Amino acid sequence: MTQKPCPLYSQIPSIDRLLHEPQIAPFVEQYGPTLITVTLRRMQEQVRINIKQYQELPDWCDNWAAALGQRLERKQALALKPVFNLSGTVLHTNLGRALLAEPVIEAVIQVMRSPVTLEYSLNGAGRGHRDRALANLLCELTGAEDACIVNNNAAAVLLLLATVASGKQVVVSRGELVEIGGAFRIPDVMVQAGCQLVEVGTTNRTHLRDYQQAINEETALLMKVHTSNYSIEGFTAEVSGRELAALGVKSQIPTAIDLGSGSMINMAQYGLPAEPMPQDYLNQGIDLVTFSGDKLLGGPQAGIILGKKQWIEAIQRHPLKRALRADKIILAALEATLRLYQRPEQLCQQLPTLRLLTRQQQEMHDMAQQLLPEIQAYYGDRFIVRSEPCYSQIGSGSLPVNRLPSWALTFVAADGQGSTLEQLARCWRGLAKPVIGRISGGRLWLDLRCLEDGKALLQALLL
């Protein structure tokens, strides 16, 4: 006996009818008929599945236009969403690391809207080199002979190794074989660059004689790696840049250091822990130095190689350089960031990374006191909300053992359940502008170090 089709299927409107509905016409005009037709067909299929499984129409079927609008809004939402970073980590890798300064943003917009002299020489009306202008600026700021820019510091290390030591040996201290987030390991990069790693010394102590004893006719590079994301303390010893450079000159072997984060300024003058500067190692005689653009430098993601002109020229000629080169947007952002360093007196105000790192605890305390009454009034029936001191961290592997005194708003679930805090954190992550805090010690912490607009946070949290 043939089963009669469910009469609910006949209530599914046709595509043609839907496209001509007055409430749907504005969507067609805004998004075009192709996207609207595809979306409506998927909605029809969802209705058929619902009828088959539950023998009923979905709740939204009485207003196809509203349901369509909601789906289009979700579909067109950008994957990279602005968030409130209240995690307590200033240079948060998962949240995009350094914020760019306003002059940098303006420079990027300009190069996006117009053809630019990326590889064009106005003097000779011919082809120029995309790194040249930026390399000159880096040399002015650091005293380097020349510079090369690629898309991140891992690429900088890979390109350096492939140019200088492919098929040869690279000597590195065992205590400096770092791994950073995303499983980037120095030994693995050396393999990809075609180099043979030679470990010397021990985890906690490496001496100059260890490097000396490892040198042979296959040695192509003596290398140091700054342990930016961990610290070895106690009975330790390491070879200085000056010692390694002198050994390199004596042995006629080039030397290099990967600084990872790298800072172009003396952080101690701002009351922050000191971080190695590339110009210091260049002054000590190291041939090549690499570091990141989007960490302590406060710019876009980029890898910067500074050093002796003969080696930079060789690096620029390597086939990998084209695969790893930076585009016009990165170059424009990096140049505009570096221009700020030409005015050091204004740097702390203009460079967001430095501004956030140097905020005084009292400033965050005062903000917490301003925010607390309204947030307590809104959340007080379910949570105990307090204003408490805390410590921020710099992040992105920079100065891992150092903490910055800060201030936070904390939430403790009135029912004592950790799941209640998790639910609150999940709710905040679902906001139009998500709020990212951290759960620790039975509290949900909102570290205010990276918050400069308290009113915007109130608008987000007071749903």
Place of tokens 């299927």: 9
Same domain? 90 vs 114: no
**What's the CATH number where 250 sits?**
3.40.640.10
Same domain? 199 vs 121: yes
1, part of any domain: no
Helix (H) or strand (E) holding 446: strand 443-447
Q: And the tokens for 437?
A: 């805090």
148, part of any domain: yes
Same domain? 233 vs 328: yes
Is there a contact between 293 and 139 (Cβ–Cβ < 8 Å)? no
Same domain? 162 vs 257: yes
Mutual orientation of helices 309-317 and 153-165 as an angle, nearest 10°?
100
Same domain? 304 vs 382: no
Same domain? 267 vs 182: yes
* Rounded CA separation 145/255 (Å): 15
- What pLDDT does 1 receive? 42
Is there a contact between 50 and 56 (Cβ–Cβ < 8 Å)? yes
Is there a contact between 282 and 338 (Cβ–Cβ < 8 Å)? no
35, part of any domain: yes
Residue 376, C-beta contacts closer than 8 angstroms, at least 6 positions apart: 385
Q: Please state, in angstroms and as integers, the Cα–Cα distance from residue 423 to each residue in 418, 419, 461, following that order.
A: 9, 6, 14
Same domain? 232 vs 209: yes
**What's the CATH number where 391 sits?**
3.90.1150.110
Same domain? 343 vs 377: no
Same domain? 316 vs 382: no
Residue that is last in its domain, among 350, 374, 409: 350
Q: And the tokens for 252?
A: 């006629």
- What pLDDT does 3 receive? 53
CA angle 164–165–170, rounded 5-degree value: 125
4, part of any domain: no
Same domain? 346 vs 247: yes
- What pLDDT does 447 receive? 98
Helix (H) or strand (E) holding 45: helix 33-54
Strands 303-307 and 196-200: unpaired
Same domain? 148 vs 246: yes
Q: How many domains does one find in the chain?
A: 3
386, part of any domain: yes
Q: Tell me the pLDDT of the chain (463 aa) as tens digits.
A: 455 557 889 999 999 999 999 999 999 999 999 999 999 999 999 999 999 999 999 999 999 999 999 999 988 888 899 999 999 999 999 999 999 999 999 999 999 999 999 998 888 777 888 999 999 999 999 999 999 999 999 999 999 999 999 999 999 998 888 776 666 788 889 999 999 999 998 888 899 999 999 999 999 999 999 876 667 777 778 889 999 999 999 999 999 999 988 899 999 999 888 888 999 999 999 999 999 999 999 999 999 999 999 999 999 999 999 999 999 999 999 999 999 999 999 999 999 999 999 999 999 999 999 999 999 999 999 999 999 999 999 986 665 667 899 999 999 999 999 899 999 999 999 999 999 999 999 999 999 999 999 999 999 999 7
* Rounded CA separation 384/207 (Å): 55
Same domain? 199 vs 245: yes
393, part of any domain: yes
Is there a contact between 117 and 111 (Cβ–Cβ < 8 Å)? no
Residue that is last in its domain, among 286, 316, 350: 350
2, part of any domain: no
- Domain ranges, residue 443: 84-94+356-462
Spatial strand order of the sheet with 219-225 comes to 146-150, 303-307, 288-292, 255-258, 219-225, 169-173, 196-200
Q: Is 196 left (phi over 0), alpha (psi -120 to 50) or beta?
A: beta
- What pLDDT does 89 receive? 95
Residue that is last in its domain, among 333, 350, 367: 350
Mutual orientation of helices 102-113 and 328-340 as an angle, nearest 10°?
150
Buried b / exposed e over 134-159, threshold 16 CB at 10 Å, is bbebbbebbebbbbbbbbbbbbbbbb
Q: Please state, in angstroms and as integers, the Cα–Cα distance from residue 324 to each residue in 160, 215, 241, following that order.
A: 12, 31, 27
- What pLDDT does 83 receive? 97
89, part of any domain: yes
